[in-house]
Structure 1
Amino acid sequence: MQSMTFRFALAIGCLLLGTGARASDEAPVYDLLIRGARVLDGTGTPWYYADVAVTGDRIVAVGKLPANAASKRTFEANGQYLAPGFIDPHSHAWPAIGEEALASAEPLLTQGITTVVLNPDGTGPVDLATQQLRIEQARPGVNVALLVPHNSIRIQVLGYQNRAPAAEELVRMQSLVREGMEAGALGLSAGPFYPPGNFSKTDEHIALARVAAQFGGIYTSHIRDESRYNIGLIAAVDEVIQVAREARLPGIVTHIKASTRACWGMSAEVIRNIDAARAEGVEVFADQYPYDASGTSLSAAVIPGWAMEGGESKLRQRLKDRALRAKIRASVAENLENRGGAESILISSNRADRRLEGLRLDAIAKQRKADAVDVAIELIARGSPTIFSFNMNETDVRAFMAQPWTMTSTDGSLLSEDNGMPHPRAYGTFPKKLRRYAIDDPVLTLEQAVHSMTGLTASIMRLRDRGVIRVGARADLVVFDPKTLRDNATYENPRQLSTGVTFVVVNGVVAVSEGRVTQERGGRVLSRARE
C-alpha cells in the first residue's frame, strides 16, 4: 500500500513539474515592446541597437528579442534614439501641476521630460504633505519630486526681517526642514539671491542643510550673486561649496551662469573652483538651461536687497520717501546698467498693463518719453512684472555645459494663457540642447548630453531605478528622431511645442505617441524614501 501511495505521489509530482516546465517555456506577453531603437542608456556609454520590453511600470527585457515576441503594444523605432525619460532638476511647474487642466504637462512631455523636481530657489509650500496630495489629485502627466524651500520656511518663522534667527527660531526652521524630509523631499532648496533668503547668512544654510543630510538629501541654491550685485559670482559659488563641505551633502549651483557683461569669462574660474572642491572630495554639481537670457522679476533684477526688507508693501512705502527713493534709484540705475541696459530687458508678464508684454524696457521708456530707470521703478511699484534678461555670453554657456558635473534643467514654468509669456526654456530646453549642442554644433556627444539629462541627474537626486535603461528600472522612456528634433519656442513666441519627440512612456504608460500627447497620465509623486 505504501509502495502504491509513493508511486502515485511520484506520478503527480512529475505531472506538476512537467506542467510548470511547459508554462515557464511559454514566451511572455509584454505590455509594451519598443523595437529597433538606438539605445542611449543614460550612462554616457555609446549607443547600441536593442529592443526594450516593458511590463507594468518596469523594464523587463533589453536586447535582441525574438521576432515572434508577443506584446500588447509595439512601437517600431526604426533606428530612432531611445533614452531614459528626461529628468528636470529645477522646475517651476508648481502650482500649475496641481491644477488638473494643466497637470497633463504637455510642454514637458513633448520635450521628453518624464520627471520634474519642484520648489527650487527656496520657493514653494512649506507643507509638503498637502502639496503632494494636491498634485496626486490633479493626476500629473509626469513624475513629480519635491524640495524643502528655505525662503518659505524663513518667511514662516521670521517674515521678511533682515536678521539672523534666534536659537529657538533656528530650531523651528530645522524642525520644518525635518518635516519636509520626512514627507519624502529630495533635499533643501535655497535662494539667497531673493528676499528674504538674501537676509540669511551661510551658517544658517549649513545648519539647515545638515538636517537634509541626515536623510541623504541634497542642497541646491540659486546662488547669492550671479554677477556683482553683492558678494560676486565667485564668492557665491564658493558659498555652495562651503555648505556642501560642512553639511556633508551634495551641493548644486542651480542654473549656473556668468550673468551680465561684468562677469563674462568668469566661467573658467568657477569651473576651476568646482573642480578643486571635487578633487578635495566635496560633492558639487550644477544644472543649466541652454539660453542666453534669464527669467526673473524686474524687482529681483534691479532692486537692492535692503529695500525689500519687510516685503513689497514696505518697498512701496520706501519709494514714497524722497531720500530713500533717490537711494533706491541709484541702485536700480547701476543694476540696470550691469544687466546691459534697458534694451536687454524684455517684459514677459505684466498684470498691471498687458500691452507692455513683449516690449523691451527701452522701447517703453521711449513711448513714455521718460528715463528707463524711472519707468522700471514705476512698473515695480505697480506690481513687479516678470522679465527676460539678455545677459549671458555663449562662450560661458558652452563652457559650463561641457562639464561632466552639469545637469540639464529648464527653470521653466507651466503658465496658463492669461499669465503672460513663459520663457522659451519651458517649452524647448531639452530638444534645444540635443539639437544645437550635441547634433548641429557639438559641445557634447549625444551620449554625454543624454547622460546630463538622465543618469547624472538621477544619481545626484538619489532617484533609484530612474535615469537608466536596464532590466528592473522604471519604465520612463523617450524616443526621439534626430532628423526632426527641434525646439520651436522663441522669446517672441514662446508657446510653441517642441517636435521630434515621437514616443514617451511614464511609468509604463504611453504619454506621447507619434509625437502627440495621449492624455493618458502616468505620473506619480516620488518620495525620497520610496525611490
Structure 2
Amino acid sequence: MKTILIKNGTVYDGLGGEPYRADLLLRDGRIAAIGSCEAEADLVIDAAGKVVCPGFVDIHRHCDAKPFNNPDFGRVELAQGITTTVVGNCGISMTPRPCGNAEAREMYDFDEAVMGPIRTDGPVTYREYLEALDKTPLPINFASMIGTGAVKITVKGFSDKPYTQAELDQARAIIEDAMAAGAPGVSLGIMYLPECYSSTDEFAYILEPVGRWGGVITTHIRGEGDSMVESVREVIEIARKAGCALEISHFKSCGVDHWRKDIHTAIALIEEARKAGQDVTCDFYPYEGGSTALTTMLPPVFVAGDMTRALQELGTPEGVERFRRQSRVLYDDWDNFCVTLGWERIIISGVTLPEHRPMLGMTVPEAAEKFGFEDSEALAAHLMHTENGKTAIINMSMCQDDIDTVARLPYAVIISDAIYADTDTPHPRMYGAFPKVIREYVRERGLFTLQEAIRRMTSLPAARMKIRGRGSLAVGNFADVLVFDPAVFRDHATFTDPAQLATGLAYCIVNGEIAVDHDRRTEVMAGRNLRVDKM
C-alpha cells in the first residue's frame, strides 16, 4: 500500500469548517498527518489551487447486485467522487429472499426495474449476502441494509393479508439477525407492493430490534403526492413506536397541485418531532424528476396481493379495461400518480425487450400514439405484461422551489437514489448527482457554500449511518480522499442524454489507493465491505 503525500491543497474537512491550506499524508490506508508535512512518499500530488476533501458518501443507491454481475461497476460512482455507498434502500434488498427458486424469481423480477437483473443462485440470508461481498472485489466501500419489502416477500409473498403473529415474529427475527450482523439499519418501501398492505403497528412491531441496536430506519413513505403529509406523520409514528432513528428517503412533494404547499406542512411535522426529542432527518436528490418501476402505477386494488396474476391479466382486454378504470380514480390509501401527476409526466427509461427500445426517452402518451396503442393505459398495460413488470420510468413530479426548501434544512443529506435497471437511458442522477450539487447548487445558484455542500455529502451521511472513520479528514480516519478543481469538476448527464460520466476529478483515493487519476479509472479495487458497529 502506497504512502501518498498531497501537498498545497485547500482542505475541506467534511465537517463544514472553514477551508484551510495544508498537506495530507496518507499511509497504510489511513490519514497519517495533516498540516505541513515533509515526509518520504511513494507519490507526491501537488494540489495547489484544488480542493482536498473526504470521498463522498452516498447512502442511497440501488447497486446491491452490481458487484456480482457487472465487471464495470465503480466507473460511474468513482467518476463523481463516491467512495462509500449504502444499499438495500426503499424496502428493496437482495436478501432476505424466499428459498424457493420460483418465489425468489418472482421477487427479483419485481425488483429488476430498480436493481437490474439478479440470478436466483446467490445468497439467501443477509449474512450470506455479507459473506458474498467479503469474497468479491469492491471498487468502493459498501454498507448494506435489508428492506422490509424483501422481508415481507420472504415471509408471506406478495399477499395483501395482514401478518399473522407467527409471521410478525418471523419478520422481526430476520431484522434482529441483520442488525446483529452489522446492518446500519433497515429500509422501508411503504409505497411499494407488498408493503403498502402493512399497517403502522405491523411496521413498529417488526422494527423494534432496530431501535434496540441503535440503528436507523430509512423510508420511502406511503405516498409522496395526495397523502404525503399523512405519510410523513405515519413514519414518524412508526419510528417513535419502534424507538429508532428515522431518515425520510428522497423527501419531496409530488404533483402540481401540491407544489410549494405540502412540503412546508410536512417539514413542520418533522420539526415538531425533533423538538420532542425524536431523531428525525431526511435526504434529497438534486433533480426535478424521480425514477422507479412502472408497476408503481398499478393500483393495489388491481394487484390484490398477487403480482404474477396481475401482470398476466394486463395481457387481456378485460385486464386492460379494469386497469384503465381503476387507474382513473383517486384512493384514500394510495397515491394515484396516473391522475395526480398524469401520464404525460411519465418517461419510459428502461425496457428489457428489444422491440421496446424505440420507446426509450418518450413519455407514455407519446409512445402510445407513435406505436398505435389506444391510450396511455393500454401501452402501460402492454409494457408491464410483456416485460413481466421490469419496465423502468422517470416521473417528472417535483418543482425546484420545493427541492430547495428541503435542501436548506440543516439536517438534509444529499443522495443520488441511483436506479440500476439495465438500460442506456437511466435517470441522470446515476451519473451526476454529486458534481451537479457543486456545479449548480454551489457555483451557479449559491444555495450552499462549498464547505456546506461537502458536509452534506460526507460527514452528515456517514454519521447518519454510523459509518465511523469516514466522511471527514482527520488523523486516523480512513484515507478516502478527493482532489479536484471545483470550477472544472462537473456533471454532464441530462434527462435527454443521461449516460454521461462526470469529469474533472483529479484524484479519487479509496482506502489509500488511487482509484481515479485525472478522470482515468485505475485497476485498483480498494473498497471494503462494511459492518456497522452501532452501539
Structure 2 match to 1:400: 406
Measured against aligned partners, the alpha-carbon deviations of 1:94-142 in whole angstroms (never above 9, x if no partner) come to: 2112236133x11000110001101101111111222223333331100
Q: Does the CA-based 8 Å contact 1:34-1:75 persist in structure 2?
A: yes
For the residues of structure 1 that align with 2:205 and 2:491, how far apart are their CA atoms?
41
Match of 2:34 among 62, 66, 86: 62
Q: Secondary structure in 2 aligned to 1:121?
A: coil
Q: Secondary structure in 2 aligned to 1:71?
A: coil
For the residues of structure 2 that align with 1:426 and 1:339, how far apart are their CA atoms?
26
Structure 2 match to 1:447: 451
Structure 1 residue 319: Cα displacement: 4.1
Match of 2:360 among 354, 357, 382: 357
Measured against aligned partners, the alpha-carbon deviations of 1:312-364 in whole angstroms (never above 9, x if no partner) come to: 32213554787775443233235355354332111111223222122221211
Q: Does the CA-based 8 Å contact 2:221-2:231 persist in structure 1?
A: yes
Structure 1 residue 381: Cα displacement: 2.1
Match of 1:283 among 267, 279, 284: 279
Structure 2 match to 1:262: 257
Q: Does the CA-based 8 Å contact 2:314-2:382 persist in structure 1?
A: no
Structure 1 414/304 Cα, relative in aligned 2: closer, same or farther at 3 Å? Answer: closer
Structure 1 match to 2:343: 342
Structure 2 match to 1:74: 44
Structure 1 residue 530: Cα displacement: 8.8
Q: Does the CA-based 8 Å contact 1:114-1:142 persist in structure 2?
A: yes
State yes or no: 1:43 paired with 2:15: yes
Q: Does the CA-based 8 Å contact 2:2-2:512 persist in structure 1?
A: no
Q: Does the CA-based 8 Å contact 1:475-1:505 persist in structure 2?
A: yes
Structure 1 match to 2:89: 120
Structure 1 match to 2:378: 374
Structure 1 match to 2:100: none
Counterpart of 1:387, as a letter, is I
Structure 1 residue 48: Cα displacement: 1.1
State yes or no: 1:52 paired with 2:47: no
Structure 2 match to 1:25: none
For the residues of structure 2 that align with 1:149 and 1:217, how far apart are their CA atoms?
14
State yes or no: 1:212 paired with 2:184: no
Q: Secondary structure in 2 aligned to 1:479?
A: strand
Structure 1 residue 57: Cα displacement: 1.5
Q: Secondary structure in 1 aligned to 2:237?
A: helix
Gaps of 5+ in 1: 1-28
For the residues of structure 2 that align with 1:498 and 1:280, how far apart are their CA atoms?
42
Q: Which moved more, 1:483-492 or 1:335-344?
A: 335-344
Q: Does the CA-based 8 Å contact 1:339-1:391 persist in structure 2?
A: no
Measured against aligned partners, the alpha-carbon deviations of 1:395-452 in whole angstroms (never above 9, x if no partner) come to: 0011111111111111113465xx3422110100000011100111021211111111
State yes or no: 1:242 paired with 2:237: yes
For the residues of structure 1 that align with 2:314 and 2:487, how far apart are their CA atoms?
54
For the residues of structure 2 that align with 1:379 and 1:415, how far apart are their CA atoms?
15
Structure 1 residue 499: Cα displacement: 1.0
Structure 1 356/71 Cα, relative in aligned 2: closer, same or farther at 3 Å? Answer: same
Match of 1:312 among 287, 303, 307: 307
Structure 1 residue 209: Cα displacement: 2.0
Q: Does the CA-based 8 Å contact 1:424-1:491 persist in structure 2?
A: yes
Measured against aligned partners, the alpha-carbon deviations of 1:124-175 in whole angstroms (never above 9, x if no partner) come to: 1111222223333331100000002111110111111112211111111111
Query: Which is greater in Rg?
Result: 1
Q: Does the CA-based 8 Å contact 1:191-1:222 persist in structure 2?
A: yes
For the residues of structure 1 that align with 2:486 and 2:314, how far apart are their CA atoms?
53
Measured against aligned partners, the alpha-carbon deviations of 1:186-206 in whole angstroms (never above 9, x if no partner) come to: 111110100011111111221
Structure 1 168/415 Cα, relative in aligned 2: closer, same or farther at 3 Å? Answer: closer
Match of 2:513 among 509, 512, 518: 509
Structure 1 residue 183: Cα displacement: 2.0
Measured against aligned partners, the alpha-carbon deviations of 1:71-96 in whole angstroms (never above 9, x if no partner) come to: 11111111211111111111111211
Q: Does the CA-based 8 Å contact 2:432-2:492 persist in structure 1?
A: yes
Q: Does the CA-based 8 Å contact 2:392-2:421 persist in structure 1?
A: no
Structure 1 residue 370: Cα displacement: 2.2
Report the TM-score, using the length of structure 2 for normalisation: 0.88
Structure 1 residue 64: Cα displacement: 2.0
Taking every aligned residue pair, what percent have the same amino acid on both sides? 30
Counterpart of 1:76, as a letter, is D
Match of 1:174 among 172, 175, 180: 172
Match of 1:468 among 452, 468, 472: 472
For the residues of structure 2 that align with 1:240 and 1:64, how far apart are their CA atoms?
48
Structure 1 match to 2:481: 477
Counterpart of 1:277, as a letter, is A
Gaps of 5+ in 2: 97-124, 330-335
Structure 1 164/369 Cα, relative in aligned 2: closer, same or farther at 3 Å? Answer: closer
For the residues of structure 1 that align with 2:374 and 2:430, how far apart are their CA atoms?
33
Measured against aligned partners, the alpha-carbon deviations of 1:367-402 in whole angstroms (never above 9, x if no partner) come to: 115222222222222223211111110100111111
State yes or no: 1:437 paired with 2:432: no
Structure 1 residue 213: Cα displacement: 1.8
Structure 2 match to 1:410: 416
Q: Secondary structure in 2 aligned to 1:341?
A: helix
Structure 1 218/159 Cα, relative in aligned 2: closer, same or farther at 3 Å? Answer: same
Structure 1 434/366 Cα, relative in aligned 2: closer, same or farther at 3 Å? Answer: same
Structure 1 340/198 Cα, relative in aligned 2: closer, same or farther at 3 Å? Answer: closer
Q: Which moved more, 1:473-482 or 1:372-381?
A: 372-381
Structure 2 match to 1:187: 185
Match of 1:143 among 141, 144, 147: 141
Structure 1 275/365 Cα, relative in aligned 2: closer, same or farther at 3 Å? Answer: same
Structure 2 match to 1:521: 525
For the residues of structure 1 that align with 2:405 and 2:222, how far apart are their CA atoms?
21
For the residues of structure 2 that align with 1:434 and 1:269, how far apart are their CA atoms?
29
Structure 1 318/186 Cα, relative in aligned 2: closer, same or farther at 3 Å? Answer: same
Structure 2 match to 1:17: none
Q: Does the CA-based 8 Å contact 1:148-1:181 persist in structure 2?
A: no
Counterpart of 2:10, as a letter, is R
Q: Secondary structure in 2 aligned to 1:122?
A: coil
For the residues of structure 2 that align with 1:435 and 1:58, how far apart are their CA atoms?
29
Q: Secondary structure in 2 aligned to 1:512?
A: strand
Counterpart of 1:184, as a letter, is G
Match of 1:227 among 221, 225, 230: 225
